[in-house]
């Protein structure tokens, strides 16, 4: 009895996973297949990217400041507060920037995607698209995925910059370090990681490959749960919650493994 239940649950899990990857494959494959829904793409880039700038600015700035405050205490015990710029630049660009931007976008955009597609599903608009001869994956999923793949890295760059700026504020007004010194150490850190193709700092590659993957995760999870919605408005709520939970967990887990891989590739 228990085994049977376990068996059913396992089968459902595998089946969902398969569905997810089929959706992902189609959505990404359609990027290269006509017709292109360019206006949908720009609309989504606006909604996902431009619409998220506010929260990204806020979270980035405050995270940078709090990171500086905490590190200042630690660094002071070694008399190393001059290096605060290095510490903040390193952690923001490699780790905090991508993950924070990813989590914020998952909360704001992932849930939005799930709610919108979920509502379209329960009000039969997805069926209507199918009936009118449009592939809903191409019309709805592909533009959202592509927009996220482009915009989440852009948001991350903004987040990184604002975070480092937040650190600058604390370094100047709390620790009394001159801005010139702070930014000098920031650039030292960013350039110390080595270069790919002789001019791209490795930290940038790490810091930008992560949000690219996160963008894919957020949009695909949102679209997957959105399109799978059933059971009316309640179903829409469930789809939204699941999206945020699943996408956030996936971001943190995938971040760990990506870091492992990237460290192995880029660290001497």
Site residues (vs another protein, CB under 8 A): 29, 33-34, 120, 123-125, 127-128, 130-135
Cβ proximity to another protein: between 67 and 117 the closer is 117
Cβ proximity to another protein: between 39 and 77 the closer is 39
Q: Is-contact 137 58, C-beta < 8 A?
A: no
Cβ proximity to another protein: between 74 and 130 the closer is 130
Minimum CB–partner distance for residue 133 and another protein (Å): 4
Q: Is-contact 93 262, C-beta < 8 A?
A: no
Minimum CB–partner distance for residue 222 and another protein (Å): 16
Minimum CB–partner distance for residue 35 and another protein (Å): 8
Cβ proximity to another protein: between 124 and 188 the closer is 124
Whose tokens are 């920031």? That residue is 186
Cβ proximity to another protein: between 79 and 133 the closer is 133
Ramachandran bin of 41, using left for φ above 0, alpha for ψ from -120 to 50, beta for the remaining angles: alpha
Minimum CB–partner distance for residue 34 and another protein (Å): 6
**CA 34, CA 127: separation in Å to the nearest integer?**
21
Would you list the DSSP string of 167-232?
HHHHHHHTS---HHHHHHHHHHHHHTT-EETTTEEHHHHHHHHHHHHHHHHHHHHHHHHHHT--SH
Residue 36 half-sphere exposure toward CB, CA atoms < 13 A: 9
Minimum CB–partner distance for residue 37 and another protein (Å): 10
């Amino acid at each position: 009895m228990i085994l049977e239940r376990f068996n059913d649950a396992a089968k459902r899990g595998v089946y969902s996973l398969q569905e997810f990857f089929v959706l992902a494959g189609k959505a990404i494959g359609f990027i290269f297949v006509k017709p292109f829904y360019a206006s949908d793409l720009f609309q989504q880039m606006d909604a996902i990217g431009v619409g998220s700038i506010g929260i990204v600015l806020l979270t980035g700035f405050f995270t940078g400041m709090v990171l500086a405050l905490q590190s200042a205490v630690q660094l002071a015990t070694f008399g190393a507060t001059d290096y605060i710029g290095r510490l903040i630049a390193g952690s923001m660009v490699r780790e905090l920037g991508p993950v924070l931007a990813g989590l914020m976008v998952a909360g704001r955009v992932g849930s939005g995607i799930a709610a919108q597609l979920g509502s379209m599903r329960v009000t039969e608009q997805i069926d209507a698209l199918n009936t009118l001869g449009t592939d809903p994956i191409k019309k709805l999923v592909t533009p959202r995925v592509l927009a996220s793949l482009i915009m989440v890295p852009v948001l991350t760059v903004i987040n990184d910059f604002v975070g480092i700026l937040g650190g600058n504020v604390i370094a100047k007004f709390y620790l009394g370090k001159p801005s010139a010194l702070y930014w000098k150490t920031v650039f030292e850190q960013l350039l110390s990681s080595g270069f790919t193709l002789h001019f791209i700092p490795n930290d940038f590659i790490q810091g930008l490959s992560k949000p690219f993957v996160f963008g894919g995760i957020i949009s695909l999870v949102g679209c997957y749960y959105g399109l799978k919605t059933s059971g009316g408005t309640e179903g829409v709520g469930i789809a939204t919650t699941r999206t945020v939970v699943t996408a956030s967990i996936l971001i943190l887990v995938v971040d760990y493994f990506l870091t492992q891989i990237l460290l192995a590739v880029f660290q001497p």
